[in-house]
Amino acid sequence: MKLLQANIITKLTVLLTIALSFSSSYAQTIDPPDVSFVSINPYSNQVSVAWYKSTSDNIAFTRIHYIYDETGLIKAKTIVDIQGNTDDTLLFETDTMAVFPFEANEVPLSFAVDAYSQNGSNSTSLREYHTTMNTKISTQTCPSQLEISWSSYIGYAVTVNSYKIIEVDNTASEIVLETVPANQNKTIIPLNSQSYRRFFIEAVFTDSKGNVRTSRSNMVDITSPIYTSPSYIRVQSVTTTETNSIQIQFDIDTATSFTKYQVQRSNTLGGYSKLIDVELDKTEISPYEFTLTNGFSPDTTMYYRLVAFDNCNNSIATSQSVPLFTCNASEATDTKHIVTWNMPNIWTEGIATYNIYRITNTNTYEIGSQTNANTFIDDIGTDYTIGSKVCYRIEAIQNTSNNPYISISNTACVDKTYRLIMPNAINPTSSIEENRICKPTYAFISGSYVLQIFDRYGVKIFESNDIEQGWNGTYKNSYVNPGSYQYKLHVVLTNGVTIDRNGSITVIFGD
C-alpha cells in the first residue's frame, strides 16, 4: 500500500491523451493491471485505488491515472508512477493535488491503472476504469423525511450485488439501515429524534478476479427538523349545556410539533365526517374545548373524536371516540320519577361521584349523589308546587384530587299533567282554615296566574297574581254580604298551555 504525498504527486503529474485505436504491438503484449476497487474514506475523504499486478514480465512501474473525460476519446492525467509490479493499493487526498479540479466528496471520480515495461511498452487500459460513488441528501417536506441518492459504482468487469445505506450515529457506530438492489440509486430515510445525522453508501460487488469487494462513498450530513407527533389525545370532559350546545374538552400532548386538528363526528363509530378544522398552538391544547351550538339531539347517538394531522395532512394521532353523556327521566307514579344516565368511559381514574340535580320553576338544586349506580328514584312527595315540568341533569366528577374534570349530561324532563279545582263556596268565619279562603286546589301548576272576584254588579272586588294568595271574603277590609259572586281564573303554564275558568262562588257565614 502506497500513501502518496502531495508534493511528490505534483512533480509526477503529466497529461495523457490516448486514442483507443492505438495499434502499437507493444500495447498488445503488455497485460494491464486489473483494478480491484476504488473507494472513499467517508470520514476523511481519502481515496483508495486497489489493483492486481500485471501478469506480464519485465514490468518497470505501474501508472495510476485520473480519468477526467470519459466521452469519446478517453482523457487522463497521471497521478503517480509506482515502481515495480505488485498487487497494491494507493491512498491519497484530492484536496492537496492540483490534478483534481474537484474533491472526492463533490463528484464521482474515475481511475485506471496501466503497466509499463522496461523496454518502454505499456498496456492501454483507460477504458477499464472504476468510478467512485457520490452521495447526496435532502429533506422532503411531504412526507417529512430524508431522501438519499447516490451515483452508481462503475467498474470494468464488475458486477454490483447491492448497496448498503449506513448511518453513523452520535456514538460513531455504523448502522446498516437498509440494503437495496444494484438497480436502486435512492432511498427514503424516516426522521427520528436525532437532529444531526450522517450517512454514506457502501457498494458490495464482485471484481474481475471473482473476489467480493466493497466501495464506500463520501459522507453526507444534514441537520433535519425534528417533528414530534402527539403521544396522546384524550377526551377529558363531555357536557351538554342547558341550551343543548355540546362542549367537549380534549387534552393533547403539549410536546407535539404539529398544529393541525380536526373534530369529527359519526353515528356508527365509522364513516366519520368533519365538523371543523382548527389550528392550535401549544397554549391552546391542554385542554382544547370544542363547542357545537344546538348540537344535542335526544333521538340520535353521535360519536365524537379529535384527529391530529402532520404538515402533509396525514393523520398522526386520534383521540378515543366517545358518545355524549346522556340522561333520561320518566314518570313511575305521580310522585316518583326514575332518572337514568349513561356516562362514557373517558377517565382511567374512574368517577368519584354523580351529583343529581332537579330543575323546577327555573330553580336548580341538588337532590342526591351516588358513586356507582346510574339510576336514581326521585320522590317529589306531595309538593305539587313544582310545576308542570320536572327536569334533571347529572354531573359526573373525575376520581382525582388534582383538578378533576367535570362532565354534565343533557337536561331530561318529565311533563306532569296539571290539576286545578276551584271551590264552589267559602265561609270566611269558619274554624277550618281551608274553608275560609277562595283559592284553587292545584297540582303541577307553574307560570303566570290571575284570579279575579266580581260582585253581582260586575265590580271587581279582588285580584291576585299569586296562586297561594286567595280571597278571604272581604272587600275594603270588611266582609262582603252573603250570596253569589263570580270569579275569573286565567293561567298560562310554562309550556304555553292556557287555562281559563269562569264560575260562581257562594259566600256563607256561620258553622
Model confidence pLDDT, tens digit, residues 307-336: 999 988 989 999 999 999 999 999 888 788
3-state secondary structure of 164: strand
As a whole number of angstroms, the distance between CA 115 and CA 83 comes to 10
Which domains can be identified in the chain, with CATH numbers? 2-131 (2.60.40.10), 139-223 (2.60.40.10), 233-323 (2.60.40.10), 326-405 (2.60.40.10), 419-507 (2.60.40.1220)
The pLDDT confidence band at residue 6, using thresholds 50, 70 and 90, is: very low
Query: How many CB atoms are located within 10 Å of the residue 487 CB?
Result: 19
| Per-residue confidence (pLDDT) for residue 265, from 0 to 100 | 96
Give the strand pairing for 260-266 and 303-309: antiparallel
The predicted-structure confidence for 27-50, as pLDDT tens digits, reads as follows 448 999 999 999 999 999 999 999
The predicted-structure confidence for 181-201, as pLDDT tens digits, reads as follows 999 999 999 988 888 999 999
Give the strand pairing for 412-415 and 474-475: unpaired
Distances (CA, A) of 499 to 352, 423, 465: 46, 16, 14
| Per-residue confidence (pLDDT) for residue 193, from 0 to 100 | 83
| Per-residue confidence (pLDDT) for residue 511, from 0 to 100 | 67
Give the Cα-Cα-Cα angle 448, 433, 492 (nearest 5 degrees). Answer: 10
As a whole number of angstroms, the distance between CA 444 and CA 417 comes to 7
When pLDDT is averaged across residues 150-173 and rounded to a whole number, the result is 97
Query: How many CB atoms are located within 10 Å of the residue 281 CB?
Result: 8
| Residue pair 436/472 in contact by the 8 Å Cβ criterion | yes
Residue 450, pLDDT above cutoff 90: yes
The pLDDT confidence band at residue 384, using thresholds 50, 70 and 90, is: low
Higher local confidence (pLDDT), 337 or 24: 337
Q: Where are the alpha helices (DSSP H) in 40-113?
A: none
Residue 5, pLDDT above cutoff 80: no
One DSSP character per residue, 94-152 reads: GGG-TT-SS-TTTS--EEEEEEEETTS-B---GGG-EE---EEEEEETTTTEEEEEEPP
| Per-residue confidence (pLDDT) for residue 72, from 0 to 100 | 83
Average pLDDT, the chain: 90
Phi, psi of 433 (to 5 degrees): -60, -45
**Helix, strand and coil in the chain, % to nearest 5:** 5, 50, 45
Q: What is the DSSP letter of 471?
A: B
The pLDDT confidence band at residue 416, using thresholds 50, 70 and 90, is: confident
Q: Which residues contact 145 (CB under 8 A, 6 or more apart)?
A: 139, 188, 189, 190, 191
| Per-residue confidence (pLDDT) for residue 312, from 0 to 100 | 85
| Per-residue confidence (pLDDT) for residue 34, from 0 to 100 | 97
As a whole number of angstroms, the distance between CA 140 and CA 257 comes to 17
| Residue pair 346/320 in contact by the 8 Å Cβ criterion | yes
| Per-residue confidence (pLDDT) for residue 3, from 0 to 100 | 52
The predicted-structure confidence for 198-240, as pLDDT tens digits, reads as follows 999 999 999 999 999 999 999 999 998 888 899 999 999 999 9
As a whole number of angstroms, the distance between CA 492 and CA 446 comes to 8
Average the pLDDT over each of 24-33, 134-143, 257-266, 385-394 and give the range with the smallest value: 24-33
The predicted-structure confidence for 240-293, as pLDDT tens digits, reads as follows 999 999 999 999 999 998 999 999 999 987 789 999 999 998 888 889 999 999
Residue type, position 347, single letter: W
When pLDDT is averaged across residues 388-399 and rounded to a whole number, the result is 93
Residue 472, pLDDT above cutoff 80: yes
Tally: H helices and E strands in the chain: 3, 43
As a whole number of angstroms, the distance between CA 80 and CA 76 comes to 12
Residue with cell 271551590: 423
**DSSP element (H, E) containing 359:** strand 351-360
As a whole number of angstroms, the distance between CA 259 and CA 279 comes to 5
